[in-house]
Structure 1
Amino acid sequence: MARPTKYITEKRHIMFRVRLTASEKCHLETLASEAGFTASDYLRMVVLSQAPIRRKPTPDRALLLSLLAEANKLGNNVNQIAHSLNMAERSGQPHNIPKRNIEDAMAELQLLSEYLLTTLKDGHTG
């Protein structure tokens, strides 16, 4: 599923440059990391009093996001196979993969994706 399109007023397209020493940059990155944010989000939070959009994912959350991405890729591949099989069926070309197998695989992928999304939304319980 694609991300929703942002209005031009919501897009961050302007860059503001600031000069720092190496130690200042390191200190900023350390503060941001300890707070669980990127340096950009941390600066927005401190300087502009804006709540960051999101925190940097914890290792568990990053793993779940990675698994969700892989499940989505797999689901897309299965969907493309099903589409090809349906096209072959319409044109009268034979194939030996039962449609039920594809439907079962899609249902299992859907359950996995829903589980991962729920876990990501509600937090890791384990």
Structure 2
Amino acid sequence: MTLSVRFTVRMTEDEKALLEEKASKLNVNSSEFVRCATFNYDPPSPQIQVASVDWKIYHLLGQVKFELNKIGTNVNQLAHDANLSVIMGSPMQSQLEELNEFSGCLNQLIGLMSEMRSQITDSTGVKPK
């Protein structure tokens, strides 16, 4: 469709701002929005842009998460042994508290990495390579 006729409409600044806001929500310019509203056209389908993802970094995050899980398992084993030592009368309470705090931090990091990887796949709509 060739647009060859110009038609001018006067409006307030507030109306213009509202028009531009509604048009931008549909990802069209103001003229296209007015034509769609006036002539009861369906607005064009918005083009979805998929973010570029560096899959090497994505997989590296997975490897780091795996290694953190292994470290967390070792810390949990140390905490278990420290608990047994405390039960048997060894004064390791401060080290035990540090191990438990460290274990909590590791679990939080693992959760954050999982969330980051999920957000990458959700935002792109693309499955990892």
Structure of higher CA gyration radius: 2
TM-score, structure 1 as length reference: 0.49
TM-score, structure 2 as length reference: 0.48
By relative contact order (CA 8 Å, sep 6+), the higher-ranking structure is: 2
